[in-house]
Amino acid sequence: MINPLGLHARPAALFVQAANRFPDCRVVVSNDSDRVNGKSIMGMMTLAAACGSELTIEIAGDEAERAMEALCRLIANKFEEE
């Protein structure tokens, strides 16, 4: 997680919105201890990912490549918070 403020409510909501643009894809996000539905705001918030923490994104479905590109771009842009 490269966002200086970590994965708080706003970036988590942006991630979930982006993931939900791909209804045929299954999105799973995990850290060292939890695996959550990447399309669920509550799931994403339970990760409590601070800046510097490592998350793994797994996507399956017909548009998995496009979904991964969109989510990685969102993260790389630090959720547009800078």
Is residue 6 very low, low, confident or very high in pLDDT (cuts 50, 70, 90)? low
Question: Measured at the alpha carbon of residue 53, what is the angle toward residues 47 and 58, in degrees to the nearest 5?
Answer: 65
What is the model's pTM?
0.88
Of 4, 6, 7, 8, the active-site residue reads 8
11 tagged catalytic: no
Collapsed DSSP state (helix, strand, coil) of residue 63: coil
* Within-domain flag for 54: yes
Amino acid identity of residue 29, one-letter, is V
Query: What pLDDT was estimated at residue 38?
Result: 97
* Within-domain flag for 1: no
Domain membership of residue 63 as a residue range = 9-80
> How many of the other CB atoms lie within 10 Å of CB of 10?
13
* Within-domain flag for 2: no
Number of domains within the chain? 1
Is residue 3 very low, low, confident or very high in pLDDT (cuts 50, 70, 90)? low
Max CA pair span of the chain: 33
The 10s digit of each residue's pLDDT in 24-77 is 999 999 999 999 999 999 999 998 887 788 899 999 999 999 999 999 999 888
